[in-house]
């Protein structure tokens, strides 16, 4: 079976203004909520990556009339109402998307029909008990494969009741799953999180006219409401922007501006961490679009310094750690990350895979149970493996900007799940990268 490898030659600097693809979290939710709304929802800036397209295909399979996406990311969703979904003819294949599976497990637990959610090899290894166990407390019936892994078989027609759930681990996907199930539950569903996580679900439900109340770290939703169609302008994804933030920080003579990036305060940990490391980052033209704060972000070269990453920032940057580990490798001194155990159950074990790759490239990177200790220094060339994880592949691409020799990154096909045309945009920005089928 063939695979896609990236070969990145060392050096280069990043310059110019550009827009990275749309936010994946918001793209997923725009399809889900638009499908359940009364009326027509217009989406612009939709991310045309495999993950969000799999969400779109799944709702089409449940009878929703969706036009697009057009080349420029416009999608029109003819909403079916909160109880309008139809039973699909076969299992819904969600590919690599853990977000789709976990959120839809909640959303679909309250439907009248049975269905199955499946995924690719990588998704089939990811833990789902974190959503199926609290859903069971609400009265849902969801069967998993051995060890609580996908596929998920959801039994329809179950009466759900509201619960108060204290999440053991901070996870926006678990919180969102239970709030979405709460729309179909009798009474009030409340979720308390141990640390702040991204709040796109709460913001977008409110934009669709379905209120979510918040008291401290507890979110509550009443069952039995309705969603009303609205227009969604998806900002550029800060997780995708993060690769270029780090790239422009570590590459010499770099100066870039990333346009229309979402700066939701539950997602800006990467900016805060890079600034603590000494990065030169400015937020320009700050504004609000569709309930989400947005800005243009200017990044210039800087000599980064090693830091102890504050644990309170970890959940606000959980998806950005692969590339933050690269920033740490280029920093002066020691960087210590703790409280990031969640990284071990992402598309890959991101702590182990990044440590393995950095060590191959000559970096002193020591994995710990819940993070990593990295002593910044020289990066050598070499061959590393992405372990079929899009964020690992893109992180090592940025490492080549400071490497002594070429870096070959194996198994990069999954980059398309979150960042279509990553190679093209990286080239235009000034990275010497080629994509090879082997």
Residue numbers annotated as active site: 319
Strand partners, 403: 379
The C-alpha atoms of residue 372 and residue 383 are separated, in whole angstroms, by 21
Phi and psi torsions of 236, nearest 5°: -65, 145
Tokens standing for 72? 């420029």
Task: Answer yes or no: are the C-beta atoms of 315 and 343 closer than 8 Å.
Answer: no
- Residue 406 has, within 13 A of its CA and on its CB side, a CA count of 11
Contacts of 33 (CB under 8 A, 6+ apart): 41, 204, 205, 208, 227
DSSP 347-411: SS-HHHHHHHHHHHTT-EEEEETTEEEEE---B--EEEE-TT-HHHHHHHHHHGGGBSS-EEEE-
Q: CA 412 to CA 402: how far, in whole Å?
A: 20
């Amino acid at each position: 079976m063939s695979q896609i490898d990236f070969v990145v030659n060392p050096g280069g600097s990043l310059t110019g203004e550009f827009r990275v693809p749309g936010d994946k979290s918001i793209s997923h939710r725009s399809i889900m909520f638009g499908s359940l709304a009364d009326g027509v929802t217009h989406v612009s800036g939709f991310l045309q990556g495999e993950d969000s397209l799999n969400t779109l295909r799944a709702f089409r399979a449940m009878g929703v009339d969706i036009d697009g996406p057009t080349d420029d990311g416009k999608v029109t969703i003819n909403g079916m109402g909160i109880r309008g979904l139809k039973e699909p003819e076969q299992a819904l294949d969600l590919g690599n998307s853990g977000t789709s599976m976990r959120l839809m497990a909640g959303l679909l637990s309250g439907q009248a029909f049975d269905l199955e959610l499946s995924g690719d090899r990588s998704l089939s290894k990811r833990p789902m008990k974190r959503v199926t166990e609290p859903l069971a407390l609400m009265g849902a019936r969801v069967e998993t494969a051995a060890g609580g892994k996908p596929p998920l078989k959801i039994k329809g027609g179950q009466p759900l009741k509201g619960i108060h759930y204290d999440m053991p681990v901070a996870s926006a996907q678990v919180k969102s799953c239970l709030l979405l199930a709460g729309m179909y539950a009798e009474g009030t569903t409340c979720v308390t999180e141990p640390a702040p996580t991204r709040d796109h679900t709460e913001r977008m439900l409110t934009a669709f006219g379905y209120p979510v109340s918040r008291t401290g770290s507890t979110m509550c939703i009443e069952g039995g409401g309705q969603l009303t169609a609205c227009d969604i302008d998806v900002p550029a994804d800060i997780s995708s922007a993060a690769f270029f933030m780090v790239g422009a920080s570590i590459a010499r003579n770099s100066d870039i501006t990333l346009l229309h990036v979402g700066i939701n305060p539950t997602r800006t940990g990467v900016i805060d961490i890079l600034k603590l490391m000494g990065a030169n980052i400015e937020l320009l033209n700050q504004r609000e679009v569709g309930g989400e704060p947005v800005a243009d972000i200017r990044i210039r070269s800087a000599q980064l310094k090693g830091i102890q990453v504050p644990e309170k920032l970890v959940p606000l940057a959980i998806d950005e750690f692969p590339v933050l580990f690269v920033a740490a490798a280029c920093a002066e001194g020691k960087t210590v990350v703790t409280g990031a155990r969640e990284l071990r159950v992402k598309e890959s074990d991101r702590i182990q895979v990044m440590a393995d790759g950095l060590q191959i490239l000559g970096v002193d990177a020591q994995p710990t149970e819940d993070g990593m200790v990295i002593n910044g220094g020289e990066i050598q060339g070499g061959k590393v493996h992405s372990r079929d994880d899009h964020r690992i592949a893109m992180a090592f691409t940025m490492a080549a900007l400071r490497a002594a020799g070429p870096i070959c990154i194996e198994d990069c096909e999954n980059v398309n799940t979150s960042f279509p045309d990553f190679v093209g945009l990286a080239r235009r920005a000034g990275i010497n990268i080629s994509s090879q089928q082997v």
